[in-house]
Chains A and B, each alone.
Chain A
Amino acid sequence: MGLNQLWLVPALPLLGAILNGIAAGKLPRKVVSVIGVGSVGLSLLIALACFRELLALPEDARRVTQGLFTWVQSGDFQADVRYALDPLGAVMMLVVTGVGFLIHVYSTGYMGHEKAYGRYFSFLNLFTFSMLTLVLADNFLLMFLGWEAVGLCSYLLIGFGYQRPAAAEAGKKAFVVNRIGDWGFLLGIFLIFVTFGTLDFSAVFAQAPQKLAVGSALAAAIALLLFLGAVGKSAQIPLYVWLPDAMEGPTPVSALIHAATMVTAGVYMVARCHVLYLLSPVALLTVAIVGAATALFAATIGLVQNDIKRVLAYSTVSQLGYMFLACGVGAFASGIFHLMTHAFFKALLFLGAGSVIHALSGEQDLWKMGGLKPHLPRTHATVLVATLAIAGIFPFAGFFSKDEILWNAWLHGGPVLWGAGVVGAFLTAFYMFRLYFLTFGGRSRVTEEAKHHLHESPNSMTVPLIILAVLSLVGGLVQVPLLSGGQRLDAFLEPVFADAALVAGTGVAHGAASVAGSAAAHGAASGAAHAPGVEITLMVISLIVALSGIFVAHRFYVADPDLPCRLAERAKGFYRLLFNKYWIDEVYDSRIVQPIYRGSVRLWERFDAAVIDGAVNGVGKQIERGAALLRQAQTGYVQVYALILTLGAVVVLGYLALR
């Protein structure tokens, strides 16, 4: 087992999905679990074997492809079903299979009482297949297949409890909003094909520096169209609105799809296409600004939400913004690093939240929790680790990854982007500890009935929590700053992002291109080369900011529990603005959705029915009216007809005779 079996990594979950799908609930739960979890587990093992073989290869040969068959060929267009593994793909593959496997295990406990157990695992396996296809695809079209297929699975799993109208609605919203992004992605793919004559990654990225001038409109168009797809999938401004609603899905689904993997696909895509972005400073700047703005914007909403999962959802949107910020300043490896650590601690947070919800028989309101620490010891400990990690406290994983982003933002993006990131970091620390204190700290506000059933979750749920907690704790150590040789992830990813240097090396003295150059240099394991003093200062600042966020949260929700209410009273307008999420959903509905709907009704009634059908039926009416005139001549007396006939004949004959 190894690289020759690469195709099995996505194929096994697909097989599991088909088996569980066709069996349609006829199999006993045990068998369903074995198929569902086993297929992903096997896939994880093969992924690890592939990873080991990849590591054994020399650095510049770490790109292996495996073609299965030609998918679509028409004229000079061709796209294959072909998988490729390179360091970037390997990181994603391990995250997907690893976190995915843990969440599958967790699901056996969390969804244990679910009626449609088989359906659930079938969808979850299908998602794993799709996500792996997305990250292992060797061309844009296959990537798009995975891209849309994860969207489908997201739709199916959000709407898993389809009996609730809100769930069904959220699923549809997610799909449609994603489609808006995919519109851009699709056009981007066309533009790439028209420009390069191929959709294969290696060919496109190799030709890009020659075919596209730095800063050209074409490069910007390609990069921005692709980015529109990323904005949709990764829930950035202005297409983020679907993600909070997606929390209608089961919690493990939120953890896997809407936190750890699918929503990061946009970041992966931007990183994968980094060559194209580096050729367009405008696009890079857009990515950075959108990322920073989203990071800040979503964090402010997260401050005041009361649903535990929604807080986490806005936190996810915000963290994804950080990843885009990293990509936007050319630090793609940092973006991927944060993607990885985020996958660990955010999955853990969701699963922990799921454990809490499970324990409270479905309660999601933070104000009906509190004081759970003694009741849920394992959950509490692991969630605390994750909260510290996301808040960016040394030495948890989030500290390293977030700090690296902030450092790069300072270095290549300037103080404004850095400042936005730091403020976001403060807010993150605050709302995450608000969530933590409201859930586990203080006195209990749990309803009597829920208290009755209060219990720690079974091992199938807590063991994945513990594993993820360990990963959240040590995950950052693959990339230790300032230490020479400490940036192992950077070094591993270096062959992928090396061509960034190539692009920059084309000798353009453009601002963002130099960003690219230094980013590449940053990747080249020379972290200590640039001003360690500044880096340490910044590190300390962000640590202080995070700690003060925690301190404020403690003051608000533990030391003086009435303070938040008083504050909300004082800044009532602002509070309501945040609480209602800036009324963005309402604005979209009244400014976009409703006008389109009403306009369509008008088109149908006033144009289709009135104008076109009116014309058609009008012709019929006119003919009827004309016929009414003509039929006056029909008297019914045959002899009158005969007389007219005769006269007619006489006239004709007379004309012929006298002519």
Chain B
Amino acid sequence: MSPAFTVLGVPILTFLTFFPTVGALLLLLLPSARPGAIRAAAFLVSLITFAASIPLFTQFDSTSRGMQFTEQAPWVPGLGISYHLGVDGISMLLIMLTTLLTAVSILASFSAITSRVKAYMVTFLLLETGMIGVFAALDLVLFYVFWEVMLIPMYLLIGVWGGPRRVYAAVKFILYTVAGSLLMLVAILYLYFAHHGATGMYTFDLLELYDTPLMRGAQLWLFGAFAIAFAIKVPMFPFHTWLPDAHAEAPTAGSVILAGVLLKMGVYGFVRFAMPLFPEAAFAYTPWIIGLSLIGIVYGALVAMVQQDVKKLVAYSSVSHLGFVMLGLFVWNTQGIQGGILQSINHGLSTGALFLAVGILYERRHTREIGEFGGLSETLPWFAALFLIVCLSSIGLPGLNGFIGEFLVLLGAFRASPVVSAVAATGVILAAVYLLWMFQRVMFGPVTNEKNRGLKDLTRREFWTLAPVIFFIIWIGVYPNTFLRKLDTSVAELMDRVHARTLSLGAPPVPGASLAPGAGLVRGTSLAPTAPQPDPPAGAGGAD
């Protein structure tokens, strides 16, 4: 365990989780009549939170296994509920992503939100508490509480500050999510009692529950319940239809957080809960999840191609990209899982930036219809350059972040089943089609719509909302090892945990692995011998 690290005397994870709430309370004291001060204060709070999260990255010990920066205190001891926080490489990166995107989103809201500014900023900061809490919680009740806490602010963001169909979208969003999370609650309770039945101890502590022995039948049900909750959040095909509506109606910053962080919670849920808690069931469901991921990749891309609304286009592209992420997780090898997690970070950055860019356009023209634009490169050259980089990152151009994630996912998938990888790789072609086509219709060509003629290029503030995201887009693309190394032990631990409990099962049934023409040719692709071995430590690589 790493030594306790504190910020202003408060353990760092508690500080990160609750500082936004404290900030929100302080914000309430400011007069509503001075929106400028409220905006600045909210931005300051989010900036401090981001700054405070940096030690999480720098002090993280990527060689040691187990959770770090842990805190544990009894909460409701009678029921075995504790206030247990801690991070590994996976959740650490997701918390960094959250603090970064929150700060960026608040900055991006300065001019977009003009009504009920105080309420908006308070809501946003409470949302941040919920999100960080979800990633830091190691107690299932605590996790569930944060999971639900974060729903409410998001519901309000869409329902109050959204577009014309905001109420429909907000209700759809919350009903979808709550339907899933209630199933999860039931499964949590079942697990709680099953653990008591096996050990005589009542506890909601995740690390204890990891070792609960469960019959295969029970695992299948429990995994199913967790998986639906998370699959809705990811969202996996066919649970995705809340996403385009929510994205289209949410304010820019809401879309950024929704795409950037909230969807990652589904992915995180699989990695932290569903897969290690019920490994046998995870193996059993592997063909289904891979099948749905493949459908999601291709389907999301095809439907994205025909959208007329920029935000819906990006929303469907998320369905496609998250398909890659889920595919990576369920091919059960190091490249796949590391690539999947990295790709979910990448998606947060790229798609977050895409929504920021769309928001910048929306503020100028108050429309999201692709047909309304055209020729904007002429009037907005700086915007065009940054927007292009963001699109290329989403397309997966080598040298930018998206490529690294997609490459590792596809490589991992190829090792498991060449056919799966070949189908998934068509998503890479289609990504180029729909994004470049959108870019062409929005940015290129002559200016045909008079309203587009006098538009102003990026303001300094807008530039600084995009710049930090693009900075990380390039960093991950050029030197992904900074981030991949943080994942090494966490991913190895996940795979060990799963394989220790599924030794008898052999390789998971990746569809097409045996049918594939490559299966006979490709030597050493069977997962059992390669996958469970912990990979060589980071230091070994890179030496010439």
- Whether the complex brings A and B within 8 Å at their CB atoms is answered yes
Q: CB within 8 Å of B: which residues of A? A: 21, 24-25, 67, 69-78, 80, 141, 144-145, 148-149, 152, 155, 159, 162-165, 167-169, 171-172, 175-176, 179-180, 182-183, 186-187, 190-191, 193-195, 197, 216-218, 221, 596-597, 599-601, 603-604, 608, 612-613, 616, 620
**Contact yes or no, B535 A75, CB < 8 A:** yes
**Contact yes or no, A191 B414, CB < 8 A:** yes
**Contact yes or no, B522 A195, CB < 8 A:** yes
Q: From A163, which residue of chain B is reached at the shortest CB distance?
A: B446
**Contact yes or no, B436 A187, CB < 8 A:** no
Which residues of B in the span 475-517 have a Cβ within 8 Å of any Cβ on A? 478-481, 484, 517
- In the complex, whether B212 has a CB less than 8 A from a CB of chain A is no
- In the complex, whether B54 has a CB less than 8 A from a CB of chain A is no
**Contact yes or no, A163 B445, CB < 8 A:** yes
Q: How far is the CA of A621 from the CA of B303 in the complex (A)?
A: 26
Q: How far is the CA of A74 from the CA of B522 in the complex (A)?
A: 20
**Contact yes or no, B432 A613, CB < 8 A:** no
**Contact yes or no, B446 A75, CB < 8 A:** no
Which residues of B sit under 8 angstroms from A155, Cβ to Cβ?
A: 436
In the complex with contacts A149-B397, A159-B444, A179-B432, A612-B404 CB distance below 8 A: no
In the complex with contacts A24-B381, A78-B541, A72-B480 CB distance below 8 A: yes
Which residues of A sit under 8 angstroms from B375, Cβ to Cβ?
A: 163
A162-B443, A190-B418 given; 19 more Cβ-contact pairs under 8 Å: A71-B479, A72-B408, A73-B481, A74-B408, A74-B535, A75-B338, A77-B335, A159-B444, A162-B445, A163-B378, A167-B444, A176-B433, A176-B436, A186-B428, A187-B422, A191-B522, A600-B305, A608-B303, A616-B241
Which residues of A sit under 8 angstroms from B541, Cβ to Cβ?
A: 70, 73, 78
**Contact yes or no, B436 A69, CB < 8 A:** no
Q: Chain B, 23-66, contact with A by CB distance < 8 Å: what is the 0/1 string? A: 00000000000000000000000000000000000000000000
Which residues of B in the span 293-320 have a Cβ within 8 Å of any Cβ on A? 299, 302-303, 305-307
Pick the residue among A69, A74, A194, A599 that contacts B302 (CB under 8 A).
A599
Size category of the B interface is 35 or more
Q: How far is the CA of A172 from the CA of B433 in the complex (A)?
A: 8
Q: From B485, which residue of chain A is reached at the shortest CB distance?
A: A73
**Contact yes or no, A165 B522, CB < 8 A:** no
Which residues of B sit under 8 angstroms from A21, Cβ to Cβ?
A: 385
- Residue among B238, B517, B530 facing the most chain A CB atoms (10 A cut-off): B238
* B interface, over-half SS: helix
Rounded to whole Å, the gap between the CB of A114 and the closest CB of chain B is: 14
- In the complex, whether B524 has a CB less than 8 A from a CB of chain A is yes
- In the complex, whether B425 has a CB less than 8 A from a CB of chain A is yes
- A sample of 16 inter-chain contacts (CB < 8 A) reads A70-B542, A72-B484, A75-B334, A144-B398, A163-B378, A176-B429, A182-B428, A183-B425, A186-B428, A187-B418, A190-B410, A221-B521, A599-B302, A613-B241, A616-B241, A620-B175
Q: From B333, which residue of chain A is reached at the shortest CB distance?
A: A75
- In the complex, whether B80 has a CB less than 8 A from a CB of chain A is no
- Residue among A25, A72, A141, A162 facing the most chain B CB atoms (10 A cut-off): A72
- In the complex, whether B411 has a CB less than 8 A from a CB of chain A is yes
Pick the residue among A73, A169, A183 that contacts B426 (CB under 8 A).
A183
Which residues of A sit under 8 angstroms from B433, Cβ to Cβ?
A: 176
In the complex with contacts A163-B445, A187-B421, A599-B302, A69-B238 CB distance below 8 A: no
Which residues of A sit under 8 angstroms from B484, Cβ to Cβ?
A: 72-74
**Contact yes or no, B338 A74, CB < 8 A:** yes
- In the complex, whether B221 has a CB less than 8 A from a CB of chain A is no
Q: How far is the CA of A644 from the CA of B542 in the complex (A)?
A: 78
**Contact yes or no, A69 B377, CB < 8 A:** no
Which residues of B sit under 8 angstroms from A169, Cβ to Cβ?
A: 440
Q: How far is the CA of A191 from the CA of B422 in the complex (A)?
A: 11
Q: How far is the CA of A221 from the CA of B274 in the complex (A)?
A: 37
Rounded to whole Å, the gap between the CB of A21 and the closest CB of chain B is: 8
Q: From B245, which residue of chain A is reached at the shortest CB distance?
A: A613
Q: How far is the CA of A186 from the CA of B397 in the complex (A)?
A: 12
In the complex with contacts A159-B444, A190-B411, A190-B418, A76-B334 CB distance below 8 A: yes
**Top 5 A-B pairs, shortest CB-CB distance:** A75-B334, A70-B542, A168-B444, A190-B414, A145-B398
**Contact yes or no, A74 B421, CB < 8 A:** no
In the complex with contacts A72-B407, A148-B398, A168-B444, A187-B335 CB distance below 8 A: no
Q: How far is the CA of A455 from the CA of B94 in the complex (A)?
A: 63
Which residues of B sit under 8 angstroms from A194, Cβ to Cβ?
A: 414-415, 518, 522-525
Q: From B534, which residue of chain A is reached at the shortest CB distance?
A: A75
Pick the residue among B381, B382, B432 that contacts A176 (CB under 8 A).
B432
**Contact yes or no, A69 B445, CB < 8 A:** no
Q: How far is the CA of A159 from the CA of B385 in the complex (A)?
A: 14
- In the complex, whether B464 has a CB less than 8 A from a CB of chain A is no
Q: How far is the CA of A73 from the CA of B240 in the complex (A)?
A: 33
**Contact yes or no, A603 B429, CB < 8 A:** no
Q: How far is the CA of A599 from the CA of B306 in the complex (A)?
A: 10
Q: From A219, which residue of chain B is reached at the shortest CB distance?
A: B521
**Contact yes or no, A603 B411, CB < 8 A:** no
Q: How far is the CA of A218 from the CA of B522 in the complex (A)?
A: 8
Which residues of B sit under 8 angstroms from A608, Cβ to Cβ?
A: 241, 303
- In the complex, whether B339 has a CB less than 8 A from a CB of chain A is yes
- In the complex, whether B437 has a CB less than 8 A from a CB of chain A is yes
Q: From B441, which residue of chain A is reached at the shortest CB distance?
A: A168
Q: From B439, which residue of chain A is reached at the shortest CB distance?
A: A172
Pick the residue among B306, B415, B418, B440 that contacts A168 (CB under 8 A).
B440
- In the complex, whether B172 has a CB less than 8 A from a CB of chain A is yes
Which residues of A sit under 8 angstroms from B436, Cβ to Cβ?
A: 155, 172, 175-176
- In the complex, whether B399 has a CB less than 8 A from a CB of chain A is yes
In the complex with contacts A162-B377, A597-B305, A603-B426 CB distance below 8 A: no
Rounded to whole Å, the gap between the CB of A115 and the closest CB of chain B is: 10
In the complex with contacts A70-B542, A183-B426, A596-B446 CB distance below 8 A: no
- In the complex, whether B392 has a CB less than 8 A from a CB of chain A is yes
Rounded to whole Å, the gap between the CB of B85 and the closest CB of chain A is: 28
Rounded to whole Å, the gap between the CB of B147 and the closest CB of chain A is: 21
Which residues of A sit under 8 angstroms from B450, Cβ to Cβ?
A: none
In the complex with contacts A179-B429, A600-B302, A77-B414 CB distance below 8 A: no
Q: From B427, which residue of chain A is reached at the shortest CB distance?
A: A183
Q: How far is the CA of A529 from the CA of B333 in the complex (A)?
A: 55
Which residues of B in the span 144-185 have a Cβ within 8 Å of any Cβ on A? 172, 175-176
Which residues of A sit under 8 angstroms from B440, Cβ to Cβ?
A: 159, 168-169, 171-172
**Contact yes or no, B399 A149, CB < 8 A:** yes
**Contact yes or no, B443 A217, CB < 8 A:** no
Which residues of B sit under 8 angstroms from A73, Cβ to Cβ?
A: 481, 484, 538, 541-542
Rounded to whole Å, the gap between the CB of B346 and the closest CB of chain A is: 13
Which residues of B sit under 8 angstroms from A596, Cβ to Cβ?
A: 302
Pick the residue among B382, B479, B517, B544 that contacts A217 (CB under 8 A).
B517
Q: How far is the CA of A187 from the CA of B302 in the complex (A)?
A: 21
Rounded to whole Å, the gap between the CB of B21 and the closest CB of chain A is: 33
Which residues of B sit under 8 angstroms from A604, Cβ to Cβ?
A: 303, 306-307
- Residue among A176, A190, A600 facing the most chain B CB atoms (10 A cut-off): A190
In the complex with contacts A24-B382, A176-B436, A179-B432, A217-B411 CB distance below 8 A: no
Which residues of B in the span 349-393 have a Cβ within 8 Å of any Cβ on A? 375, 377-378, 381-382, 385, 392
In the complex with contacts A72-B408, A145-B398, A217-B517, A152-B392 CB distance below 8 A: yes
Which residues of A sit under 8 angstroms from B410, Cβ to Cβ?
A: 186, 190
**Contact yes or no, A175 B432, CB < 8 A:** yes
Which residues of A sit under 8 angstroms from B241, Cβ to Cβ?
A: 608, 612-613, 616
Which residues of A sit under 8 angstroms from B303, Cβ to Cβ?
A: 600, 603-604, 608
**Contact yes or no, B302 A77, CB < 8 A:** no
Q: From A77, which residue of chain B is reached at the shortest CB distance?
A: B335
**Contact yes or no, A67 B377, CB < 8 A:** no
Which residues of A sit under 8 angstroms from B522, Cβ to Cβ?
A: 191, 194-195, 218
**Contact yes or no, B415 A69, CB < 8 A:** no
Q: How far is the CA of A168 from the CA of B333 in the complex (A)?
A: 41
In the complex with contacts A74-B408, A221-B521, A165-B426 CB distance below 8 A: no
